Amino acid sequence: MSTEFHSKEHQILTTIRKVLSAVARDTTPPPGRPHPLRPQTIDDLKQCFLLITAREKEIIEAAGGKMNKRPRYTDEPKTSQVVPFTKPKDKK
């Protein structure tokens, strides 16, 4: 998703999602170490992400948008082709 916000609520949800993601990354232990968060807390975080995503989807669809925007590399082949159109000349 881009930085295009459809409402103040959408901006708030995006910020909350980013903060929760940062908390999850910062608290993830190295392999073999126990997780500092309880399993119930981890499940609650997952539920928060699901709720945020569902509401963001509702907001975007209500605004007439779609949730199919994905990042693209500049050298990635395009999936569509532009067909050149030349207007026919008027017959006299």
pLDDT per position as a tens digit, 27-72:
999 999 998 989 999 999 999 999 999 998 888 888 877 767 677 7
How do the residues of the chain divide into helix, strand and coil, expressed in percent and rounded to 5?
Answer: 50, 0, 50
Q: Is 66 left (phi over 0), alpha (psi -120 to 50) or beta?
A: beta
Flag whether 11 is in a domain: no
Residues contacting 65, CB < 8 A, separation 6+: 6
| Number of compact structural domains in the chain | 1
- Provide the terminal-to-terminal Cα distance of the chain, rounded to the nearest Å: 52
Domain membership flag for residue 44: yes
Q: How far, in Å, CA of 5 to CA of 14, rounded?
A: 9
Structural domain that includes position 45? 40-68
Q: In whole angstroms, give the CA distance from residue 50 to residue 24.
A: 15
89 domain residue, yes or no: no
Look at residue 45 and tell me if it is in a domain. Answer: yes
12 in a structural domain? no
Establish if 3 belongs to a structural domain. Answer: no
**Model-level pTM greater than 0.75?**
no
**Looking up tokens 């995503």, which residue turns up?**
53
| Inside any domain, residue 4 | no
Res. 3 pLDDT band, cuts 50 70 90: low
Establish if 62 belongs to a structural domain.
yes
